[in-house]
């Protein structure tokens, strides 16, 4: 694989590829500027002052080996917040080292919640034994949360439960990501909290004076994070809390993940009705967070999808370690989708092994991906290698993520040679004729980590794939391209 990046981005990539490995090459007379390159761990870096940050993934013949997954983004930030709300100290291990988690840690630091850092993947949080109050009660506390939805939504809810004035904001894309349904639920519970009325998006302004419990009825159609955020904040309210879903609940496994984690911190959530319909959740006043003393963050199941799909596409054999049959994450179900397409899947309690008989071609599938929206992006690229069309259903939430993922998936799959039919909440991908992927396609990533990782797998079609802004993977998986290269045969 080849990396091409501007000199301005060298600091970012030096976190992955040490600076001392970069050596000067001769001037390029035709362009009048310097070129730098080196070979490190199978990666070639090259830079020109006029070029954008790109990475070329060279043709991948096969993926074979074992990878240990980084910690789950969703679990990492949930663990940090619950530890901050708990009584006692909590050591959190296998914490994901990424932008989203950094924003949460910086917010806790600003809020004066003591966090002792043991390493990049291990911290100890001293809990507040209740809500997080402002360290400066009479002043606005500004929290910048980048594009981290897993920090913005839960913190917006949790900070309403204590005392203080807060403004939560982020990058321009965060100001396009809806949060009105969560704000509505918090207001029903009595919180003085607002977002931008015209857009229903951040910044979020909070004037917190504590809450006494109550009942809220919210929509679950746009994001399960709104419900998860309310659930996590409810045990620090001074009273019983009842939360009703008034329409339907998407991504229910993420809510189950939240409830399971809350139980590890000593809180029980009573559920009435089916999670697949209009459930009601009750958190009694008596429920309080108590530190489990230590907790290990499970490997990220969404990140597992790239290696699982790569094995299925190439017919190699890959084992992902860190999640398996005992996982609390819904995205492990992506392996079942690959099995439907023709792969062979072997489950362990904390591992998944995937391969494919070379005589068996992947087949197109029609799948409801409402419970695995992040992993469903990987299915879009696997569909390029299948026989027949693949229909990816119930993914309206793609439109509300780090970028407008439906438009992005359609655009980049089309560049690679597919014909894609786009609908409001689903798409149909018709693979290129003969599964022949277009060569040397520049993939736009739209500052979306999952676009970069998903479309790297197009190189399994025997072509060069150029990834624009590969550094965007720092959001959840800064070492992704190193790990992919470590098991790739070219």
Active-site positions read 374
8 A C-beta contact, residue 252 and residue 223: no
Three-state DSSP at 446 gives: coil
d(CA 131, CA 163): 8
Angle at the Cα of 249 from the Cα atoms of 247 and 252, rounded to 5 degrees: 165
DSSP one-letter string for 44-103: EEEE-TTS--EEEE----EE-EEEEPPBPHHHHHHHHHHHHHSBSEEEEES---SHHHHH
As given in the structure block, the two tokens for residue 80 are: 């940090």
Spatial CA neighbour of 255 closest among 269, 235, 242:
269
Spatial CA neighbour of 170 closest among 102, 96, 121, 109:
102
8 A C-beta contact, residue 157 and residue 233: yes
As given in the structure block, the two tokens for residue 130 are: 């209740």
- DSSP H helices in 342-489: 373-382, 405-415, 449-456, 480-486
Task: Tell me the β-bridge partners of 115.
Answer: 125
d(CA 9, CA 6): 5
8 A C-beta contact, residue 73 and residue 98: yes
The per-residue b/e assignment along 225-257, b for 16 or more CB within 10 angstroms, e otherwise, is: bbbbbbbbbbbbbeebbbbbbeeebbbbbbbbb
8 A C-beta contact, residue 287 and residue 40: no
Per-residue DSSP letter, 425: S
d(CA 80, CA 60): 38
Per-residue DSSP letter, 431: P
């Amino acid at each position: 694989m080849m990396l091409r990046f501007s000199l301005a981005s060298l600091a970012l990539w030096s976190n992955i590829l040490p600076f001392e490995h970069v050596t000067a090459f001769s001037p390029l007379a035709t362009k009048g500027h310097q070129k730098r390159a080196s070979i490190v761990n199978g990666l070639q870096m090259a830079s020109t002052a006029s070029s954008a940050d790109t990475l070329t993934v060279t043709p991948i013949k096969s993926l074979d080996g074992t990878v240990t997954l980084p910690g789950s983004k969703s679990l990492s930030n949930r663990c940090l917040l619950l530890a901050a709300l708990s009584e006692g100290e909590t050591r959190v291990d296998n914490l994901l080292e990424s932008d989203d988690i950094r924003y949460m840690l910086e917010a806790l630091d600003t809020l004066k919640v003591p966090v002792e850092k043991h390493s990049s993947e291990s911290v100890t949080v001293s809990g507040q034994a209740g809500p997080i109050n402002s360290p400066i009660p009479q002043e606005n506390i500004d929290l910048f949360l980048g594009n981290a939805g897993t920090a913005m939504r839960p913190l917006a809810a949790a900070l309403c439960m204590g005392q203080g004035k807060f403004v939560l904001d982020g990058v321009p894309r965060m100001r396009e990501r809806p949060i009105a349904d969560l704000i509505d639920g918090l207001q029903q519970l009595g919180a003085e909290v607002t977002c931008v009325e015209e857009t229903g998006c951040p910044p979020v302004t909070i004037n917190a004076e504590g809450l006494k419990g109550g009942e809220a009825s919210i929509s679950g159609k746009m994001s399960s994070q709104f419900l998860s955020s309310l659930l996590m904040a409810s045990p620090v309210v001074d009273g019983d809390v009842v939360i009703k879903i008034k329409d339907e609940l998407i991504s229910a496994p993420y809510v189950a993940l939240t409830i399971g984690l809350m139980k590890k911190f000593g809180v029980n959530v009573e559920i009435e009705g089916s999670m697949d319909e209009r459930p009601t959740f009750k958190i009694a006043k008596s429920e309080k967070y108590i530190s489990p003393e230590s907790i290990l963050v499970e490997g990220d199941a969404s990140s597992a999808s790239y290696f699982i799909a790569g094995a299925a596409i190439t017919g190699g054999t890959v084992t992902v370690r860190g999640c398996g049959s005992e996982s609390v994450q819904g995205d492990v179900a992506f392996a079942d989708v690959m099995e439907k397409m023709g792969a062979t899947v072997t489950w362990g309690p904390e591992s998944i092994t995937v391969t494919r008989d070379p005589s068996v071609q992947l087949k197109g599938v029609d799948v409801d991906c409402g419970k695995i929206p992040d992993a469903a992006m990987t299915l879009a690229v696997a569909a390029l290698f299948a026989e027949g069309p693949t229909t990816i259903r119930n993914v309206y939430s793609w439109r509300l993520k780090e970028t407008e993922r439906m438009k992005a998936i359609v655009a980049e799959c089309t560049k690679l040679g597919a014909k894609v039919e786009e609908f409001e909440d689903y798409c149909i991908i018709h693979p290129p004729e003969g599964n022949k992927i277009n060569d040397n396609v520049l993939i736009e990533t739209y500052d979306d980590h999952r676009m970069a990782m998903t479309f790297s797998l197009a190189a399994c079609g025997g072509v060069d794939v150029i990834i624009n802004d590969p550094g965007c993977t720092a959001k959840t998986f800064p070492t992704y391209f190193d790990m992919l290269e470590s098991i790739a045969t070219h």
